[in-house]
Structure 1
Amino acid sequence: MRRSFLHVVERCDNFRPVDTLEHLYAFALSSNSKSESVVGLIRPNVLAAINDDNLASSHQASFVIDSTAQRLSFASHITTPEDRSNVIADLCARWRSHGLFSDVIGGRLWRNELYAVYANPFGQRTAGSAAFTMERSACALFGVITYGVHMTIYHPPVADNEEVKIWVPKRAATKQTWPGYLDNSVAGGIPAGEQVFDTIIKESMEEASITEHTVRAHARSVGAISYFYRTEKGYLQPEVEFVYHMAVPLHEQEAFQLKPLDGEVESFALMSISDVISNMHEGKFKPNCAVVLLDFLIHHGHVTPDNEPHFLEITTRMHGRFDFDRW
């Protein structure tokens, strides 16, 4: 009997906020109205650190903590995206300098890259629509929704008896997160102010030496996945990944080659889909990359309602809303 892929999803979509909201504080843009958008979920230890920072400040506090409503918000004088971004940046820099949350933002874990946080995480992403920006590595401390791009590059079968083959990178041993794990052909987070497809173009060159011309000619958007990941240390990271596929034309397959460029990838292997599936079941892929590949298997008819007993459970959990409306 074929093994179910449900465990692949469970390894990545491993948190249900609806079951634990009583232990979390909603992180809102303003304390003025209950209808103001909530953008994150704060754990008690992070809330305590924010409270300590408020008490230690010689200036007007930047955050308001409402214990009755279990709500953290920016203070009333913090009203613009620039103000919010500056407050968050200063707070995280102080934490880092004092060694707080060193397992999240300390040392090399600090990425020096800004992510955008949106009042409506499922709304239109336009220039200037971010509620604020913050250091990438600190996003899990505030439980905000982050965004990335993942692309599967594959060789369609040349003959009827051949399998699809997928380009699979091995993450460098020096990576800040998940070193040595298998990854998607091209993947990366979307920096603040950058468009989705521009990120695919940038990451394709930086990670795999693929030209912009090739990406524009062959990459195709096929949707998005979303999942709520809780790290091994308990921090909350709801994520959305925009998904792309790129089929290498038959006449280009012999010469097509992915090559590491920026040091984030150790090597690339052109792997049969049977080997990809085996590695997925063995947990050798970074968890969210395995889910992206599962999405590929569904798109291409390898996983169906007839051969996967948990098909509906899998497909709905790969496109969740994080219980966001209840935060």
Structure 2
Amino acid sequence: MTVPPAPPARPDSPPSFIAVVDRCDNFRPPLPTPFSPNHTERPALVPFLLSPTTQPPIGLVRAAIVDALQPSPIFITHRPSHEHPRGYISFAAHITTPAARSRAMHSLLAFWRTVRLFPDVIGPTKWRNELYDIFASPFDVLSADTAEGADGAVPKIEPTNYAFSMERAACALFGVVTYGVHMTVYEQDDDGAMRIWVPRRSATKQTWPGFLDNSVAGGIPSSYTPFDALVKEAEEEASISPALTSARAKAEGSVSYFYQADGGWLQPEVEYVYDLRLQPGEIDGGLLPGDTEVEVFKLMPMEEVISRMHAGEFKPNCAVVLLYFLIRHGHVTPDNEPRFLEINTRIHGRFDLDRW
């Protein structure tokens, strides 16, 4: 059955937000191809499994990573088979616990950094010196009680879904799912008019320097809960007191998308979403940068926010979070957005893990 094309937009119709989604959710995992014993071409992407018996994969790696792992006492490269048409990589048989995986990954990445392998991802200006927790199933229970060690996080308790921890900057090398928090801080008049506090990222940021961002945004460090991370980021980036965030921040769900960076590295991500409504003038002087990651905050009328979203001035995932805000607050509806259903589906994706 052929799906008819969408009707053309009327000349006076606003542009669709689908382009905002396309800038962020811009990757589709390739489907496995039937195995052929005569097939010698290296597949472009290879699944990353915790072990030969674990499913689904936890990451998707490029051929350059497979090559860098030859030979390796930490990882095993498995040949293509009927069950795994593209082959796969997994931790070596003796590396079976979260603590062992964390130590092994730290050792590998530290070596790659020393020899300047993949400098566009883990070079001196990219390395964050911050650990992210990686999970066997990205939509299962996400918790890991960890204690910081000299070479990474050493779990005190090993929940079945917690797999290991690794350097934040290196997650894209292995295509693993990562997690963050985003909070939209806004004001609203009695007539419904909204304004959003929008920061401009510092020109010295490791990623997306100078782009517009969400009011508060950041990754979830190892051993942090989403709300703990939100409180931390709100104080550090926007000088919002922990007491205010704890009392007023409202959890509003999550968004998920599969992003591929310009260099080809894969970044499937989940962002926990929060709103914080302020009364006009409630914070004397408004939001102020609390560290060097934000250059300046501006209280933007909704019309300006939308215009800058369409113009591509926001960091792509921040624009998606703002789009979800617009949907939840009734600014984007099935009646004014012809691609409404596709947009809603795309910003709540599951990454097609079973197809890796």
Is the 1:14–1:230 contact (alpha carbons within 8 Å) kept by the matching residues of 2? yes
RMSD between aligned residues? 1.4
Aligned AA (1:144): V
In the alignment, structure 2 segments of 5+ residues that lack a partner are: 1-12, 34-42, 146-158
Higher helix share: 1
**2:222 maps to which of 164, 171, 192:** 192
Aligned AA (1:27): F
1:311 is aligned to 2:340: yes
- Secondary structure of the 1:197 match is helix
User: How far apart are 1:51 and its partner, in Å?
Assistant: 1.4
- Secondary structure of the 1:109 match is coil
Is the 1:155–1:253 contact (alpha carbons within 8 Å) kept by the matching residues of 2? no
Counterparts of 1:230 and 1:67 in 2: how far apart (Å)?
A: 26
Q: Aligned residues, how many?
A: 315
1:238-264: per-residue Cα shift (whole Å, max 9, x none)? 0000000011135x5473611111110
- Which residue in the other structure is 2:163 paired with? 131
1:216 is aligned to 2:246: yes
1:65 is aligned to 2:61: no
- Which residue in the other structure is 2:354 paired with? 325
1:204 is aligned to 2:216: no
Aligned AA (2:301): S
Is the 2:133–2:144 contact (alpha carbons within 8 Å) kept by the matching residues of 1? no
1:295 is aligned to 2:327: no
**1:141 maps to which of 166, 169, 173:** 173
Counterparts of 2:266 and 2:65 in 1: how far apart (Å)?
A: 11
- Which residue in the other structure is 2:8 paired with? none
1:247-304: per-residue Cα shift (whole Å, max 9, x none)? 1135x54736111111100000000000000000111000000000000000000000
- Secondary structure of the 2:308 match is helix
User: How far apart are 1:150 and its partner, in Å?
Assistant: 0.2
User: How far apart are 1:20 and its partner, in Å?
Assistant: 7.6
- Which residue in the other structure is 1:120 paired with? 137
User: How far apart are 1:18 and its partner, in Å?
Assistant: 3.1
1:231 is aligned to 2:261: yes
Aligned AA (2:287): L
**1:171 maps to which of 201, 204, 208:** 201
Counterparts of 1:220 and 1:95 in 2: how far apart (Å)?
A: 41
1:93-148: per-residue Cα shift (whole Å, max 9, x none)? 11111111000000110000000000111011123432000000000000000000
User: How far apart are 1:163 and its partner, in Å?
Assistant: 2.2
Normalised to the residue count of structure 2, the TM-score between the two structures is 0.86
In the alignment, structure 1 segments of 5+ residues that lack a partner are: 55-60
